[in-house]
Structure 1
Amino acid sequence: MAGNRAVAYQGPGVVEVVDTAYPTFELQDGPGVNPANVGRKLPHAAILKVVTTNICGSDQHMVRGRTTAPAGLILGHEITGEVVEVGPGVEFIKSGDVVSVPFNISCGRCTNCKKQRTEICLNVNPDRPGSAYGYVDMGGWVGGQAEYVLVPYADWNLLKFPDRDQALEKILDLTMLSDIFPTGFHGAVSAGVGPGSSVYVAGAGPVGIAAAVGAQLLGAAAVIVADMNADRLAQAASFGCETIDVSQEDPRQGIARILGREEVDAGVDAVGFEARGHGHGAQEAPATVLNTLMDITEAGGALGIPGLYVTGDPGGIDEAAKVGSLSLRLGLGWAKALSFTTGQCPVMKYHRRLMEAILHDRVRIADAVHATAISLEDAPKGYAEFDAGVARKFVIDPHGVTGKVAPL
């Protein structure tokens, strides 16, 4: 049997590449696996040789120790791979197919899946609706920052690329379909972005950049990206976004400078629960982004909130924040009749059309997020650099398939 290597969270600030089990068609016990899932038979699954798997800001929350993730958890929910084996219950996916894996694990059978709400599938996580690979409190499905990974409900979950050679040529773009591109696009869609819109995107990390690209794809007239990181703001400006450095400029003043008015049509939170306040030397203030968006979004507008918020944060600034309770100006949001969309992105709602946009050269998401291929062994360095705020999206290539791996 083949071996397997993977990236494991070992404690706050520590990730290591470890030897781990090769996947089988049964969910084994391990760090983070819900006891009710142990021994679950998976005849509907496929085993993938991982082509690319990305480091995500959501992974970084765990690695910083800001969740209740257990030591030894195999990380990675952004997965693109080649099918090497299928279970007896798989009918349409075949060995050799190159596929994108939505980070949401879903069954395709429950009432939520049938309503395209694959982010809150009822059958894959005994703890609560919704699941993901390699993530805390998501049922214990093993992560894909590895050489090989198992994907359940393969016929349902996997997006097959129509042409293998074309897919490998565009792999650094297509790898973004597993999470950040649909997630950012979902943030823009749920904020009501359309032709001629003005949109404020809080956060210039990869998801914020993807939201900005998504807003442009939807026809926004002005996409304003706000952050405190000069390199990330420069990355946003490189493909036509306006920018506000909120360590130096008040958001309303920045919007007025750009638009001639102090409010936008739509707001996107691509920061989440580790948000900081505004101004020079601002400290963590987790409600800042949501309160700002309520302030600067016009009455009757909408907020898309793909930024992650959690129910358990050991590093929260106070007891309320540790359980996900924030001091929101809900009265302001109510008075302005604002709409809010929270939760995981239902990736399958968007990924096929976004794939077509990539394949037909309508969008270059890899360039926008500065995709950078690295080896599996360099993953710990990638986490460290990402945590330091580099304007890159690190793409782990365990088998050297991209031909673009560079040492860190």
Structure 2
Amino acid sequence: MAGNRVVVYKGPGEVAVESIDYPKLELPDDVVNGLGIKKAAPHAVVLKLVTTNICGSDQHMVRGRTTAPIGQTLGHEITGEVVEVGDDVLFVKEGDICSVPFNIACGRCRMCNEGKTGICLNVNPARAGAAYGYVDMGGWLGGQAEYVMVPFADFNLLKFPDRDAALEKILDLTMLSDIFPTGYHGAYTAGVTTGSTVYVAGAGPVGLAAAYSAQLLGASVVIVGDMNADRLAQARSFGCETVDLSTGAGLADMIAELVGEPEVDAAVDAVGFEARGHGAGAAEAPATVLNDAMTVARAGAGIGIPGLYVTGDPGAVDDNAKVGQIGVRLGLGWAKSHVLATGQCPVKQYNRQLMNMILADRAHIAKAVNAVTIGLDDAPQGYREFDAGAAKKYVIDPHGMVKS
């Protein structure tokens, strides 16, 4: 049997590509022992990775800002070709190319039946919800690899209807595993609709995906805020307005210059718990973006929060922040009757519709996020460049299947 290679966290600022065993159709020990279920997984498949992406959520671990242990395998943005099928898999066949939602779901529990696949009850004994290659998410192996096992395959996999068409648009379709649905979820739960004015905090890939999604939803003006000039330029490349938060100017004043009033109809936090204050060289202040959003969102507005917040951050600025307790002005949001939407995006709520937009040539998300392809052995360099602020979305191509 073939081996497997995967990207592994080696300590703050360091990843490596290491050899591990080829995947088996078995559930992780954490899940089996914690939930008392069978280890054999005839409902699973093995995928040969076509593409797998580096995510900002991975960077939180690699920076040492989570409780991830040394040796944690990485990668939850997975698109692959089915190469092995369990006996109980009925509707997925060898050779199918599929997108894998980053949230692992059983398809059987109350949450899955309600469409809340980001908080499945049967895939992680530590808490509701699981993901591939992520700390405290059930012990599932990461997908920045050559091969990966996907459980409950009939439920989790999104099969692309035509192999050749999928490979032609694979750089767009690879975004369906996470950042396109996540960005869309942020805009959608914020209430973005026809004619909305929208503020998106953060011009990383998720922020750019949220901004692009706001445009798909009909926003009249999308304003993206960041302190990285290259990333702001990327936002402008597909028609967004931008505000440079490194200037120290007031956010509300900058928004007023763009839309004629110091508020917007909807706001999206695509930054999360490593947020910084405004101004060049500003220190970390984890509540900044949420407080900004409540300040500039009009009364009655929605605030989508796809940005990650954690319950364990050993590198936090204070003891409260180390357990996810930050200084949010909840009274302000309460007084303005804001609706806040938090948590993992339930990818399956959006991925099929967004796939259809891509295949119909109506969505070009890879261009919006500036997708670039690298090899599996280039992953450590990709992590370094991404962490340094590159305005790129790194797509790993382990088997050379992406056309140049």
Shared fold (TM-score, shorter chain, > 0.5): yes
Q: 3-state SS of the aligned residue for 1:49?
A: strand
Bigger Cα displacement from structure 2, 150-159 vs 278-287: 278-287
The answer to whether the 8 A contact 2:28-2:140 is kept is no
The Cα of 1:160 is off from its aligned counterpart by 0.2
Residues 100-148 of structure 1, C-alpha deviation per residue, up to 9 Å, x if partnerless? 0000000111111111100000100001110000000000111100000
The answer to whether the 8 A contact 2:300-2:336 is kept is yes
Residue 102 of structure 1 pairs with residue 101 of structure 2: yes
Q: Which residue of 1 aligns with 2:18?
A: 18
Take 2:97 and 2:281, find their aligned partners in 1: how far apart are those partners?
A: 46
Superposed, which structure 2 residues align to 1:14-163 within 5 Å? 14-29=14-29, 35-36=33-34, 40-163=39-162
Q: Which residue of 1 aligns with 2:384?
A: 384
Q: 3-state SS of the aligned residue for 1:267?
A: strand
The Cα of 1:279 is off from its aligned counterpart by 1.4
Superposed, which structure 2 residues align to 1:224-373 within 5 Å? 224-248=223-247, 249-373=249-373
Q: 3-state SS of the aligned residue for 2:50?
A: strand
Take 1:400 and 1:64, find their aligned partners in 2: how far apart are those partners?
A: 29
Read off the aligned partner of 2:101 and give its amino acid letter: P
How many residues align? The count is 402
Read off the aligned partner of 2:108 and give its amino acid letter: R
The answer to whether the 8 A contact 1:120-1:131 is kept is yes
The Cα of 1:403 is off from its aligned counterpart by 2.8
The answer to whether the 8 A contact 1:47-1:86 is kept is yes
The Cα of 1:27 is off from its aligned counterpart by 2.9
The Cα of 1:36 is off from its aligned counterpart by 2.4
Take 2:345 and 2:33, find their aligned partners in 1: how far apart are those partners?
A: 26
Read off the aligned partner of 1:5 and give its amino acid letter: R
Take 1:34 and 1:243, find their aligned partners in 2: how far apart are those partners?
A: 48
What percent of counterpart residues are identical?
A: 68
Residues 213-269 of structure 1, C-alpha deviation per residue, up to 9 Å, x if partnerless? 100000000000000000000000000000000111321111011001000000000
Q: Please list every run of 5 or more consecutive structure 1 residues that lacks an aligned counterpart in the other structure.
A: none
Read off the aligned partner of 1:63 and give its amino acid letter: V
Q: Which residue of 1 aligns with 2:200?
A: 201
Superposed, which structure 2 residues align to 1:157-176 within 5 Å? 157-176=156-175
The Cα of 1:33 is off from its aligned counterpart by 7.3
Take 1:21 and 1:402, find their aligned partners in 2: how far apart are those partners?
A: 25
Residues 181-218 of structure 1, C-alpha deviation per residue, up to 9 Å, x if partnerless? 00000000000000000000000000000000100000
Q: 3-state SS of the aligned residue for 1:261?
A: coil
TM-score, length of structure 1 as denominator length: 0.97
Residues 57-81 of structure 1, C-alpha deviation per residue, up to 9 Å, x if partnerless? 0000000000000111110000000
The answer to whether the 8 A contact 1:53-1:175 is kept is yes
Q: 3-state SS of the aligned residue for 1:362?
A: coil
The answer to whether the 8 A contact 2:27-2:151 is kept is no
TM-score, length of structure 2 as denominator length: 0.98
**Stretches (4+) displaced over 4 A:** 32-35
Read off the aligned partner of 1:133 and give its amino acid letter: Y
Take 1:169 and 1:94, find their aligned partners in 2: how far apart are those partners?
A: 21
Take 1:40 and 1:164, find their aligned partners in 2: how far apart are those partners?
A: 32
Residues 4-49 of structure 1, C-alpha deviation per residue, up to 9 Å, x if partnerless? 11100011111000001110011355xx878527972211000000
Read off the aligned partner of 2:209 and give its amino acid letter: A
How well do the aligned residues superpose, as a CA RMSD in angstroms? Answer: 1.2
